[in-house]
Amino acid sequence: MWTRPPVDALKDWTPMLDRQVIDSLFPADLPEPAELEQKYPPRQLPEGAMVTRLGPSPTGFVHIGGLYVGMINKDLAASTGGTYLLRIEDTDQAREVEGAAEQFGRAFGYFGLEADEPEGEYGPYYQSQRETLYLTFARELLREGKAYLCFATPEELTDIRARQEASKAPTGYYGRWAIWRNATDEQLQTALDEGRPYVVRFRTPEDGDRRVSFDDAIRGKLQHEANRNDVVILKSSAAALRLPTYHFAHAVDDHLMRVTHVIRGEEWISSVPLHLQLFDALGFERVTYAHIAPLMKTISGGKRKLSKRKDPEAGVDFYIEQGFPAPAVQYYLRGLANGRLAEVPLEQALSTPLELGEFGVAGPLVDLVKLEGMSADYIASLTSPQVYDQVLIWAERFDPELATVLKAEKDLAVKAIGVEREGVENPRKDLRKWSDFGPQYGFFLPTVFPLIAGPTDERVTALNVAPEVVTAFVNTFIEGYQHLEDQPEWFNQIREAAAKNNFAPSPKEFKKNPDAYPGSIREASQLIRVALTGSTRSPDLHAIAVVLGQDEVLRRLRSLAG
């Protein structure tokens, strides 16, 4: 039975409830901390192994920054022989969104960020299922007087804040503003008897330093004002589930899961002093912190953090929908984390372990142009069948019509993708993402290609060649057409047909004397190009003709002739 301390110890006296009263606030079968320490023992891991984690919130939106931090965590764990965990931080029931779990699965799966121990012994991995754990340690802190019950209402809290702002005092629940910190047993018991809802607050040590310094694995020594706030560690007793705040969950979870390195966004730096106090109060061994610079976006006149609401590229779904290959995105992100890797070939960049000490400390800009370039390089390194497979996978989800055609015309599609890709030294880089396939290669597929509707089709008239000349030229070409194997010989047919129809032999010649010709070999070639592809921009004409086959080539040419 607890008794009041003698008078001379009063200045050290911490008001707290009788242990029995405290325990009655919690389930009777709650384990003791020691039992949990045993249940979740230190991991047996090689020297230097890092146990890391990502703690996403199920808000129905996976931020690219989350992917970035997750990738870093996973890489560090993997390269040191440690373990990477995924812990769903669902302690905010208000923000939770239906279907968020599948969203995670898709997003993290696409980029290979699955947890190393999805069903491991250190679970559960959803914070909403870890209530017992938080309660155990909250009760312990309460018993030791390191935490206390706070019955302040939201209105009182708002009022306190308003008064602090008015008097220019720092906002927060501390000192004379911490109205329940030194409440007497009687006050506490009365509130309890009245059934008023309460939260559990951390009793911030009074004897602590005014400033604290700590080591950050990326930034080195950091200094910060010590935390003075009696922050909430357990949310309202009125809720069905007694959930912890992020701070308390961080301490309890990362300790019990035996996480060694907490690698998270820079926005957490300000909370480290609190986290250190919490770890110390709980008697936990401190973890190593590393704070990652946030991903930014350029705006006119500066840069800002990527915003979920304003920037489509802030969400991971954007990259999946556009069809950016995962390795390309990983390559890009790794280059951002560690500039050295941005200048090294993809394969090497993906296999070189990240080093915390080499991380940049300034927030990098997400540069879509650069990503697209890297992605094009990556796709150019694949074989045609590989590209086909990936495009098909993408299309099945985002363009079912295209997927159907691709499946029906597999051989044609693979050959089309192979144009200027297979058997050449520098493969085309016209595919930056899977969604580029339709616009770039769709014309190869007869069922998709809209034929040119005669010489007055607007795709033709843009070339400024008189319709009757177009028809005459194309007919000449058709008449003598031979489906030749040899590229120069095949192309000569265009030259000859052009010459017969009085086209200038070179653009230069045409420019010198524009009234003497209907166009030059350039315009003539473009007519054939438009007939075959519908566009003035395409891969090599002969290569296209070979893939299309003689019949299809002639069909398209005839359609242009009108």
Partner RNA sequence: GCCCCCAUCGUCUAGUGGCCUAGGACGCCGCCCUCUCAAGGCGGUAGCACGGGUUCAAAUCCCGUUGGGGGUACCA
Among 19, 143, 286, 304, binds RNA (CB under 7 A): 304
Closest to 297 measured CA to CA, from 309, 285, 286, 289: 309
Contact pattern from residue 457 through residue 496 relative to RNA, giving x for each residue in contact according to CB under 7 A and a dash for the rest: ------------------------------x---x-----
Q: Which of 391, 526, 534, 547 binds RNA (CB under 7 A)?
A: 526
Q: Could you tell me which stretch among 253-261, 360-368, 386-394, 472-480 binds RNA (CB under 7 A)?
A: 360-368
Interface with RNA in residues 253-282 (CB under 7 A) = 266-271
Residue 428 sits in the site that holds RNA (CB under 7 A): yes
- Note every long-range contact of 220-226, with CB atoms under 8 Å and residues 24 or more positions apart, other chains counting: 222/269, 222/272, 224/269, 224/270, 224/272, 224/273, 225/273, 226/273, 226/277
**Residue 102 vs residues 105, 106, 145, 319: alpha-carbon distances, Å:** 5, 6, 42, 17
Helix, strand or coil for residue 263? strand
Please state the closest distance from residue 373 (CB atom) to RNA, in A.
4
Of 130 and 235, CB closest to RNA? 235
Instruction: Indicate the residue among 74 and 529 with the shorter CB distance to RNA.
Output: 529
CB-based contact 406:396 (threshold 8 Å): no
Interacting residue with RNA among 4, 11, 176, 537 (CB under 7 A): 537
Distance CA 480, CA 492 (A): 11
Q: Binders of RNA among 363-382, rule CB under 7 A?
A: 363-365, 367, 369-370, 373
Q: Are strands 288-292 and 261-265 parallel, antiparallel or unpaired?
A: parallel
Q: What is the DSSP letter of 271?
A: G
In the complex, the smallest distance separating the C-beta of residue 9 from RNA, rounded to whole angstroms, is 31
Is there binding between residue 143 and RNA (CB under 7 A)?
Answer: no
Which one, 260 or 520, has the nearer CB to RNA?
A: 520
Q: Binder to RNA among 64, 71, 113, 232 (CB under 7 A)?
A: 232
261 Cβ contact list (under 8 Å, min separation 6): 50, 51, 52, 76, 217, 287, 288, 289, 290
In this structure, what DSSP letter does residue 111 have? Answer: T
Helix (H, G, I), strand (E, B) or coil at 272: helix
The whole-angstrom separation of Cα 305 and Cα 362 is 12
Q: Does 224 bind RNA (CB under 7 A)?
A: yes
Minimum distance from residue 509 beta carbon to RNA (Å): 11
Q: Which residues contact 158 (CB under 8 A, 6 or more apart)?
A: none
**In angstroms, what is the minimal distance from the CB of 547 to RNA?**
14
- Location of structure tokens 């242990």: 19
Q: Does residue number 426 form part of the binding site for RNA (CB under 7 A)?
A: yes
Tell me how far, at minimum, the Cβ of 374 lies from RNA, in Å.
8
Please select the residue that binds RNA; options are 40, 126, 246, 481, rule is CB under 7 A.
246
**Cα 435 to Cα 399: distance, rounded to the nearest angstrom:** 9
CA distance 243 to 278: 16
Full DSSP string of 86-108? E-B----GGG--TTHHHHHHHHH
Q: Given the complex with RNA, which of 49 and 296 has the nearer CB atom?
A: 296
Q: Which of residues 2-41 bind RNA (CB under 7 A)?
A: none
The whole-angstrom separation of Cα 247 and Cα 306 is: 24
Q: Between β-strands 83-86 and 199-202, what pairing exists: parallel, antiparallel or unpaired? A: unpaired
197 binds RNA (CB under 7 A): yes
Of 409 and 540, the one with the shorter C-beta distance to RNA is 540
CB closer to RNA, 83 vs 538: 538
Q: Is 509 in the site for RNA (CB under 7 A)?
A: no
Considering beta carbons, is residue 28 or 336 the nearer one to RNA?
Answer: 336
Among 97, 162, 239, 241, binds RNA (CB under 7 A): 239
For residue 33 the two structure tokens come to 């901390």
Of 22, 51, 57, 510, the residue at the interface with RNA (CB under 7 A) is 57
Chosen residue from 16, 22, 52, 55 binding RNA by CB under 7 A = 55
Residue 134 binds RNA, judged by CB under 7 A: no
For 303, the 3-state DSSP assignment is: strand
In whole angstroms, the minimum distance from the beta carbon of 38 to RNA comes to 27
* Crossing angle for the helix pair 521-533 and 541-548, to the nearest 10 degrees: 30
- Supply the minimum distance, in Å, between the C-beta of residue 119 and RNA: 21
C-beta closer to RNA: residue 225 or 551? 225
Exposure string over 3-23, b if 16+ CB within 10 A, otherwise e:
eeeeeeeeeeeeebbeeebbe
Chain positions 392 to 411 lying near RNA, rule: CB under 7 A, are none
Tokens of 172: 């927060």
For the segment 327-356, give every residue that binds RNA (CB under 7 A).
335-336, 339-340, 342-343
Total length of the chain: 562
- Beta carbon nearer to RNA, 35 or 347: 347
Indicate the residue among 106 and 429 with the shorter CB distance to RNA. Answer: 429
Q: How far is the CB of 495 from RNA (least distance, A)?
A: 8
| Cα–Cα nearest to 495, from 540, 463, 527, 467 | 527
- Residue 429-448 contact track with RNA, rule CB under 7 A, x = bound: xx------------------
Q: Residue 491 and residue 482: Cα distance in Å, rounded?
A: 10
Closest CB to RNA among residues 19, 288: 288
Give least dist CB 208 to RNA, A: 15
Binding of residue 162 to RNA (CB under 7 A): no
Q: For residue 296, state whether it binds RNA (rule: CB under 7 A).
A: yes
Nearer to RNA, 95 or 397 (CB): 95
Site size for RNA (CB under 7 A): 86
Span near RNA by CB under 7 A; candidates 29-37, 105-113, 171-179, 315-323 = 171-179
Binding test (CB under 7 A) with RNA, winner from 311, 420, 509, 552: 420
3-state class of 509 per DSSP?
helix
Are 206 and 145 contacting, i.e. CB atoms less than 8 angstroms apart?
no
